[in-house]
Structure 1
Amino acid sequence: MSQETTPGKLSHVREDGSAHMVDVSDKAETSRQATAEAYVHTTEEVMALINTAGMPKGDALAVARIAGIMGAKKTSELIPLCHPLPISKVVIDFDLDAANAVRIEATVKTRGVTGVEMEALTAVSTASLALYDMIKAVDKHASITDMRVLAKSGGKSGSWDIAPQRHPNPEGEIQA
């Protein structure tokens, strides 16, 4: 039975149903980039502490930024079928303007044969988890929501991005 899949089938599943790592050896090397986001919802008081680097454990955003960068670099060790990539740049940004939420955005770049969407998602995941860890002592009800890929470029499928969308806060209300 063939190790590869036929068109219209899942790329990481062989015909017998078993998982496998996709062979990317024949793909063209191109510059690739992906951006993802996630939100950490907390209280107004905690937002003020984050804004002034006044959290009991220290500068929460600095810790989250380093965690995000480290997470992007470790993606192939965490996600079983991801290829190890030569990551050339990781940018982690924070937006504290959302109502009682920190928006985390990660952009990952590489020059390779496969995309970096999983690296961008892992970066915002790890940054979100690190931020949660930094604030949990003062807000046990903080939450992480709305993780998604916003854009990607490079490779055979080309570029795409999603229009800014509205996201729910923890109470389910829609915010711009």
Structure 2
Amino acid sequence: MEKEFTHIGEKNTPKMVNVGDKKITKRKATAKSIMFLGTEIISHFENKELTTKKGPVFQTAIVAGIQAVKKTSELIPMCHPLLINGVDIAIEIFDKEHIEILCSVSIEGKTGVEMEALMGANIAALTVYDMCKSISQKMIIKEVKLVKKSGGKSDIKNG
């Protein structure tokens, strides 16, 4: 059976999926962003944080990511507005040049939170870029992907 796009109507026009008949379930999604900062930027961190004139980099990025999760339906046209139960964003330096951002979003609802998790990871990475660009503009957001989802039709785990 071939899968079909869900956001295209009968006349090939855009549509928002009707989730009215779906059951409310606990749903969770986690997205990951890997970002190259380089040794020039990483060397400025003390105790796993860098404080700039704009404020603490990771703490600010976490707040920005949470705000982005809440605004996902305003920015991605076919996303439903959701009552978010929780958002957890963690940012870690994992070698001399890279950081990892994990954004987990949970709800009890009729549709998933994959886009919200991806949005949170993306905006957190962009915030790190904005706050560190005065040191170097060689930063690269290398990867943003969904790593886990549960509670809908199918659970996935992409490591």
TM-score tier after normalising by the smaller chain length: over 0.9
SS in 1 for 2:55: coil
2:80 is aligned to 83
Q: Where in structure 1 are there 5+ consecutive unaligned residues?
A: 1-6, 164-176
> Which letter maps to 1:16?
K
Identity of aligned residues (%): 37
Contact 2:35 2:143 in 1 (8 A): no
The correspondence for 1:160, drawn from 133, 156, 159, is: 156
Q: Where in structure 2 are there 5+ consecutive unaligned residues?
A: none
2:20 is aligned to 25
- Structure 1 residue 143: deviation in Å? 1.2
SS in 2 for 1:16: coil
1:135 is aligned to 132
Q: CA RMSD in A?
A: 1.4
1:174 is aligned to none
> Which letter maps to 1:122?
M
| Higher RCO structure, 1 or 2 (CA under 8 Å, sep 6+) | 2
Describe the superposition over 1:109-145 as per-residue Cα deviations: whole angstroms up to 9, x where unpaired. Answer: 0000000000000000110111110001111111112
Cα distance in 2 between the residues matched to 1:93 and 1:12: 32
Cα distance in 2 between the residues matched to 1:57 and 1:98: 24
- Structure 1 residue 33: deviation in Å? 0.1
> Which letter maps to 1:18?
T
2:10 is aligned to 15
